[in-house]
Amino acid sequence: MTSVCETMTIDEQITLLLKGTVDCIPEDELRRKLERSAKTGKPLRVKAGFDPTAPDIHVGHTVLIRKMRHFQQLGHTVIFLIGDFTGMIGDPSGRSATRPALTREQIDENAETYKQQIFKLLDPDQTEIRFNNEWFSKFGPDDFVRLAGRATVAQLLERDDFKKRFQSQAPISLHELLYALAQGYDSVALEADIELGGTDQKFNLLMARQVQQSYGVKEPQLIMTVPLLEGLDGVQKMSKSLGNYIAITEPPREIFGKVMSITDDLMWRYYELLTDLTLSEINDLKGSAHRGERNPRDIKVELARRIVADFYSQNDAEEANREFDRLFRERQAPTDIPAIELGSGSTRLVKLLATEGLAPSVSEAQRLISQGGVRVNGERINDVKYELGSQAGEEALIQVGSRKFLRVIFK
């Protein structure tokens, strides 16, 4: 990836880096760090930590990863820190109860999945992948006691989720109090100049500055936070558990279709956080839509193509666009419908939807059917007890929603 640092002024670099951020603390340090890096030729070390609790990255996570890429484009080094040690503690951010710790096997498996996905956006040559067990495995009891002395209990209880749990008399485990301190020591070990995180990580990031100072770091890290992206529903934050997400490993056609399903208002939010267009360019697009010069649907198509191309290629984006038009403009079935074989006889439709991944569970399959979201051979099915069955050699085409299809061949 070619650095654009030489062609951009410091003001232009700051504009790029602050786009889509919520906090930059302290903001005046960003200019000083960038100027010093330009003068000395020494890249900044930009850290972002990921606990390997959920191995699938969705586009909500890429708001942060894209900001890492912006630093790379300016010639700096980013550190993708996988918290294999802190993952065994469990980040209490936003939790109303103690989070179950992961096993070593779960952590290793999830971390490997992360590594396979992040280079869809990041440049491998400018990325350090580190694991914090690298230094914490060398910590003895005395090291942890000294680390625990870097903050007071009162300071740790200022954290909003701890405060709420304390006031409601919900349990807070001692190891959870160590999480922010351990994350702070990561910044000491990595000599981080800047740390990135979601707004829910602000307490941890600020604590890291304090920990760095207590270990003698003269200029602690600057912190930058990015917002938590709203999911496809436009209401709650994007989450796999809520089903309102776009995974970056989904097929191009699925990503394209999901982007096209969002509201026009949410589209502008996605343009700001999920593309590299400047705010001026986004405002120009918005103005053209408001003046009636461009159809908002066409602008959304452009957004969907950009997002697909980020994770795949421009050719994949164009093919996904054509397939979407086949489905929704020409009302044709997809060209590559997956097929399964079943023995003759009857099979409950809800069970089939769940086992073949057309619905995440039997209960969700029942909800989809009752709401009219499932068709068999073009006929809408409303009976949750519906059984699929036919004679050998016959076929059935199942459609769930507007984008999921399955061909069943009876043998």
Q: Supply the pLDDT for residue 96.
A: 44
Highest mean pLDDT among 53-62, 231-240, 327-336: 231-240
Whether residues 191 and 277 fall in one domain: no
Whether residues 126 and 220 fall in one domain: yes
Q: What is the CATH number of the domain that holds 220?
A: 3.40.50.620
Whether residues 143 and 282 fall in one domain: no
Contact of 365 with 348, CB cutoff 8 Å: no
Whether the pLDDT of residue 329 is over 70: the answer is no
Whether residues 290 and 370 fall in one domain: no
pLDDT per residue as tens digits for the range 300-310: 999 999 999 99
Contact of 61 with 228, CB cutoff 8 Å: no
Whether residues 263 and 398 fall in one domain: no
Phi-psi domain of 278 (left: phi exceeds 0; alpha: psi -120 through 50; beta: other): beta
Instruction: Give the residue-averaged pLDDT of 121-140.
Output: 93
d(CA 305, CA 317): 5
Q: Supply the pLDDT for residue 60.
A: 95
Whether the pLDDT of residue 137 is over 60: the answer is yes
CA separation (Å) from 216 to 16, 51, 188, 211? 31, 27, 9, 9
Amino acid letter, residue 336: D
Q: Which residues of 253-291 are buried (b: 16+ CB within 10 A; e: fewer)?
A: bbbbbbbbbbeeebbbbbbbbbbebeeeebeebbeebee
Whether the pLDDT of residue 91 is over 90: the answer is no
- Helices and strands counted in the chain (H then E): 18, 13
Tokens describing residue 263 = 């509201």
Whether residues 43 and 187 fall in one domain: yes
Highest mean pLDDT among 55-59, 83-87, 257-261: 257-261
pLDDT per residue as tens digits for the range 250-289: 999 989 989 998 999 999 999 999 999 999 999 999 999 9
Instruction: Give the residue-averaged pLDDT of 59-69.
Output: 96
Does 200 map to a domain?
A: yes
Whose CA is closest to 20, among 53, 54, 68?
A: 68
Whether the pLDDT of residue 94 is over 60: the answer is no
Question: Judging by beta carbons within 10 Å of its beta carbon (0-12, 13-18, 19+), is residue 100 exposed, middle or buried?
Answer: exposed
Of 265, 300, 328, the one marking the end of a domain is 328
Beta-carbon contacts of 61 under 8 Å, excluding residues fewer than 6 positions away, are none
Whether residues 220 and 256 fall in one domain: no
Across the chain, mean pLDDT equals: 87
Give the total number of structural domains in the chain. 3
Q: Supply the pLDDT for residue 377.
A: 78
Does 234 map to a domain?
A: no
pTM (predicted TM-score): 0.77
Does 80 map to a domain?
A: yes
Whether the pLDDT of residue 378 is over 50: the answer is yes
Tokens describing residue 86 = 């802190």
Report whether the peptide linkage leading into residue 334 is cis, meaning its omega lies within 30 degrees of zero. Answer: no
Whether residues 70 and 115 fall in one domain: yes
Whether the pLDDT of residue 394 is over 60: the answer is yes
Q: Supply the pLDDT for residue 328.
A: 67
Of 309, 328, 347, the one marking the end of a domain is 328
Whether residues 402 and 282 fall in one domain: no
Whether the pLDDT of residue 86 is over 90: the answer is no
Q: Supply the pLDDT for residue 122.
A: 94
Structural domain range at position 125: 5-226
Whether residues 56 and 136 fall in one domain: yes
Does 242 map to a domain?
A: no
Does 243 map to a domain?
A: no
Instruction: Compare 34 and 348 and report the one with higher pLDDT.
Output: 34
pLDDT > 70: percent of the chain: 91
Whether residues 11 and 71 fall in one domain: yes
d(CA 292, CA 287): 9
Of 328, 357, 386, the one marking the end of a domain is 328
Whether residues 310 and 361 fall in one domain: no
